[in-house]
Amino acid sequence: MAWDALYGRQSIEKKDSISVESQLEYCRYETHGEPYIEYTDRGFSGKDVNRPGFEQMMADIAEGKIKRVIVYKLDRISRSILDFANMMEVFREHHVEFVSSTEKFDTSTPIGRAMLNICIVFAQLERETIQKRVTDAYYARCRHGFYMGGRIPYGYRLKKTVIDQVQTSMYEEVEDESRQLKLIFSMYADHSCSLGDIVRYLDAHHIQHLRGGHWSTARISEILRNPIYVRADIDVYSFFQDQGAKIHNAISDFIGKNGCYLYKGTDTGATRRGSLAGREVVLAPHDGFISSKTWLTCRKRCLDNRQSAKDRKVKNSWLTGKIKCGNCGHALTVRRSKTKWGRYFICSGPGSVCGGSGCTVYADVLEDHMLRAVGAELSGFSALCPKIEKTASEKDEKQKMRLAQIEEEINGLLLKVADADDVLMRYINKKIAELDVEKCGLLGGALTKGVSSLVGERREILDHPQMWNSISFEDRRAVVDILVEAIYIANGKMEIMWRI
| Residues present in the chain in total | 500
Using DSSP bridges, classify how beta strands 166-173 and 156-163 pair: parallel, antiparallel or unpaired.
antiparallel
Task: Please check whether residues 294 and 340 belong to one and the same domain.
Answer: no
Would residue 385 count as lying in a domain?
yes
Q: Over range 484-497, report the average pLDDT.
A: 85
Residues 280 and 161 in one domain: yes
Do 466 and 491 have their domain in common? yes
Query: What is the C-alpha separation between 217 and 202, in angstroms, rounded?
Result: 11
Q: What's the pLDDT tens digit per position in 149-158?
A: 888 999 999 9
Q: Using one digit for the tens of pLDDT, what is the confidence trace for 48-71?
A: 889 999 999 999 999 999 999 999
Flag whether the pTM goes above 0.85.
no
Q: Is residue 350 classed exposed, middle or buried when 0-12, 13-18 and 19+ CB atoms within 10 A define those classes?
A: exposed
In this structure, are 126 and 205 located in the same domain? no
For residue 339, pLDDT beyond 90: no
Do residues 95 and 206 share a domain?
A: no
Q: Are 392 and 337 found together in one domain?
A: yes
Domain-located, residue 241: yes
DSSP code at position 23 = H
What would the mean pLDDT of 313-319 be, rounded to a whole number? 63
CA distances (Å), 481 to each of 133, 385, 484, in order?
47, 16, 6
Give the mean pLDDT of 109-137: 72
Distance CA(103)–CA(119), nearest Å, equals: 10
Q: Is residue 151 part of a domain?
A: no
Q: 410 and 436 in contact (C-beta within 8 Å)?
A: yes
Cα angle 212, 217, 219; round to 5: 45
Each residue of 282-296: pLDDT tens digit?
999 999 999 999 999
Which pLDDT score is estimated for 315?
A: 47
Domain shared by 271 and 122, yes or no: no
The boundaries of the domain holding residue 386 are 323-498
Question: Is residue 127 domain-shared with residue 168, that is, in the same domain?
Answer: no
In a domain, 183, yes or no: yes
Residue 215, domain CATH: 3.90.1750.20
The CATH number that applies at residue 108 is 3.40.50.1390
Sheet harboring 36-42: ordered strands across?
36-42, 3-10, 66-71, 97-100
Higher pLDDT, 251 or 120: 251
